Amino acid sequence: MMLAALTILGPLAAAAMILLLRRVPEAFALAGSAAGLVGAGFAFAGVSGGARYGATLPGLPGLPLRLVVEPLTATFAALIAVVGFLVMVYAVGYMTGEVGRVRFYAQMSFFMAAMQTLVHANDWVLLLAAWELIGFSSYLLISFHLGRPDAASGATRAFLYTRSADLGLYVAVFVLVAKTGTSQIPASLEVGGAAAVVAGLLLLLTAAGKSAQVPFYGWLQDAMAGPTPVSALLHSAALVAAGAILLIRVYPLLSPGVLLAVGLLGGLTALVAGLAALAQRDLKRLLAASTSNQYGFMLVALGAGVPFAAIAYLVAHAAMKSSLFLGAGIFQQARGSTRLADLGGVAREQRWAFLGFAVAGLALAGIPPLSGFWSKDAVLAASLAGRFAWLFVPLALAGTLVTGAYIALALKSLWQGEGQGSSVSGMGWMGTGLAGLVVLAVALGLALPPLARLLAAEPPQGMVVATLGTLFGAAGLVLGWLVPAERLLGPLRGPAESGFRVGGGFYDLVARPAFSVARAADTLDRGIHARVLGVGRLGLAVAGAAGNFDEKGIDGLIAALVGGTRWLGARARTLQSGLVHKELLLAVAGGALIFALLTIGLF
């Protein structure tokens, strides 16, 4: 139990220590991810032996935060820990001499801890928190090269895209929690009816944003501005995988209609992103488009109703795609660029790295007996066996074909050209990380049957589709090698280069209307502001008039009263001469007056 907690606490403690001490960040990061690896391995072993762990942390009142270790989460956790550790080993070599290593390793460790929390969360509140944290830390990591404008804009773009899609997750969680009255994930997955459909579609939207599916896949290519280890982790086991992981976890919730949408979206992405990859002129951008394409396959498997195929593909893809990225990182260090035009012939200098890259690429294309073959076989068999086979199988096969084509394009671009005899520093660490992941990419096929037993799933298989998939992958490879990408794409080249923008893309469809709405709102706001100011001025004028009236009117009245009284008093004072006989005379006159009145008969 305590050891299993290391999965999260190891990287988290590493991040804290790095930020506190700011010394030897590599050592702490490696130790943290190694501790995470030990924890995940222990938990995985325990789960394989039938054990289940759970923990309830005190959270908000009435909303405790629940963690769970069960076969599914243990599988994901082990995947993240392994890939994370190997990428971290690679990063030690890659980041040699970079400025800001403390920041980098702290953010990487934190990213891993957040991702592990996300997989272990058994509670929507905790899941949302972890979801935010991975989005935030990936934003920090993508913008690692602070001075570069493309890093800043890429990070902002990634953040905005995924955040807008995250709104779906929020609304879905609100719907589920409101429907079931509990924030526990397993309980909320039993919801049915309209709420399940709404929540399922919203979750699909969120997953499409995070996993870079149509129509949100543009951000992933801009996110390539980050350091290569970040891309490797982001694409294989962390941020992008989070979308697929979310859909796999909520699979019981998804109704047939939603599943159709999931599969359709995945199939479309597999095709469209694959074509976009063919049009790329930059190795890392090509790999990024390939990531969208590969996650499309996972969504197809989910849509066909076989989550195990998606899990298998996720695991295999993590090893393959991180190997590809790590290889690309070595080429990048050798030539100081990732543009395909600059990388010509780099394969002849870095033969071992190219071997790893090529093996991982062939695995991605689904060539037996590499891991990609088995997982792709599972996906194809699943789509053939499931409903809507007529829809999913062609899409998946077309995706396989373009996968082979863009892999061949990448391999050809790297191979053709003259070697320059460059040397790369930190090759020992980088080679170790890459070698570990390539071994996984080769051999993970062996792990699928035991994994299926652990998850209590029936691995779908089929000779026909396996042969078909291999044929299509190989055909793609041959096509890509022999035919230049421009010719291959034909009329699709223009749209593919621009990322298949529809109606001007997000700028015209979303940004411009949003800006005009904002301008209208601004005008309205200014109008309201002017009205408010007008009301204020009116109030001031009224107050001024009242003040005037108060000063001139009432005060004047009082002053006049006072003046009159004083005048009267002055007049009355002249009567008082102080002379006794005059006073007496007055008294007599007064007496006479009273007497006269009495006599007239007033009384």
Q: Is 575 in the site for other proteins (CB under 8 A)?
A: yes
Measured from the CB atom, the residue of 508 and 583 that comes closer to other proteins is: 583
**Alpha helix (H) residue ranges in 181-238:** 185-188, 193-210, 218-222, 228-236
Closest CA to 238 of 299, 291, 305: 291
Q: Which residues contact 592 (CB under 8 A, 6 or more apart)?
A: none
Distance CA 280, CA 249 (A): 33
Nearest CA to 67 out of 108, 116, 110 is that of 116
d(CA 128, CA 135): 11
> Among 390, 490, 503, 573, which residue interacts with other proteins (rule: CB under 8 A)?
573
Cβ(100)–Cβ(141) under 8 Å?
Answer: no
What is the nearest approach in angstroms of other proteins to the Cβ of residue 575?
8
Window of 4-12, 203-211, 239-247, 575-583 that interacts with other proteins by CB under 8 A: 575-583
Closest approach of Cβ 601 to other proteins, in Å?
22
Contacting range for other proteins; rule: CB under 8 A; set: 131-139, 256-264, 548-556, 577-585: 577-585
The residues pairing with 218 across neighbouring beta strands, listed in sequence order, are none
Q: For the CB of residue 566, give the shortest distance to other proteins in the complex, in Å.
A: 14
Find the shortest distance in angstroms from Cβ 585 to other proteins: 6
Where does 279-345 have alpha helices with state H? 283-303, 307-335
Q: Which stretch binds other proteins (CB under 8 A): 32-40, 192-200, 459-467, 583-591?
A: 583-591
Residue with tokens 């990070």: 155
Residue 571 binds other proteins (CB under 8 A)? no
Binding residues for other proteins restricted to 251-270, rule: CB under 8 A: none
Which member of 580, 600, 602, 603 binds other proteins (CB under 8 A)?
580
Query: By C-beta, is 575 or 602 nearer to other proteins?
Result: 575
Q: How many whole angstroms separate alpha carbon 69 and alpha carbon 51?
A: 9
User: What gap in Å lies between CA 230 and CA 232, rounded to an integer?
Assistant: 5
CA 422 – CA 315 distance, rounded (Å): 34
* Dist CA 355 CA 306 (whole Å): 33
- Smallest gap from residue 579 Cβ to other proteins (A): 6
**Residue 576 beta carbon to other proteins: minimum distance, rounded to whole angstroms:** 3
Size of the site for other proteins (CB under 8 A): 12
Per CB under 8 A, the list member of 576, 594, 595, 598 interacting with other proteins is 576
For the segment 211-240, give every residue that binds other proteins (CB under 8 A). none
Stretch that binds other proteins, among 135-143, 478-486, 544-552, 582-590 (CB under 8 A): 582-590
State yes or no: residue 60 binds other proteins (CB under 8 A).
no
Q: Tell me whether residue 533 or residue 588 sits nearer to other proteins (CB atom).
A: 588
String of contacts with other proteins for each residue 528-567, x by CB under 8 A:
----------------------------------------
Closer residue to other proteins (CB): 1 or 584 = 584
Please check whether residue 299 is in contact with residue 272, taking contact to mean a CB–CB distance below 8 angstroms.
no
Nearer to other proteins, 148 or 582 (CB): 582
State the Cα–Cα distance between residues 296 and 310, nearest whole angstrom: 10
Q: Is the peptide bond before 215 cis (omega within 30 degrees of 0)?
A: yes
- The stretch among 359-367, 373-381, 555-563, 581-589 that binds other proteins (CB under 8 A) is 581-589
Binding residue for other proteins (CB under 8 A) from 60, 578, 599, 603? 578
CB 341 within 8 A of CB 279: no
Residue 498 contacts other proteins per CB under 8 A: no
Query: Angle between the 101-120 and 2-21 helix axes, to the nearest 10 degrees?
Result: 160
- Taking CA atoms, 276 is separated from 149, 163, 492, 504, 548, in Å, by 24, 24, 9, 16, 76
At closest approach, how far in Å is the CB of 584 from other proteins?
6
Residue corresponding to tokens 């035919």: 483
CA–CA gap between residue 159 and residue 168 (Å, rounded) = 15
For the bound state, the minimum distance from the C-beta of residue 572 to other proteins, rounded and expressed in Å, comes to 8
Distance CA 395, CA 416 (A): 31
Does residue 577 bind other proteins (CB under 8 A)?
A: yes
Cβ-based nearer residue to other proteins, 2 or 580: 580
Residues binding other proteins (CB under 8 A): 572-573, 575-581, 584-585, 588
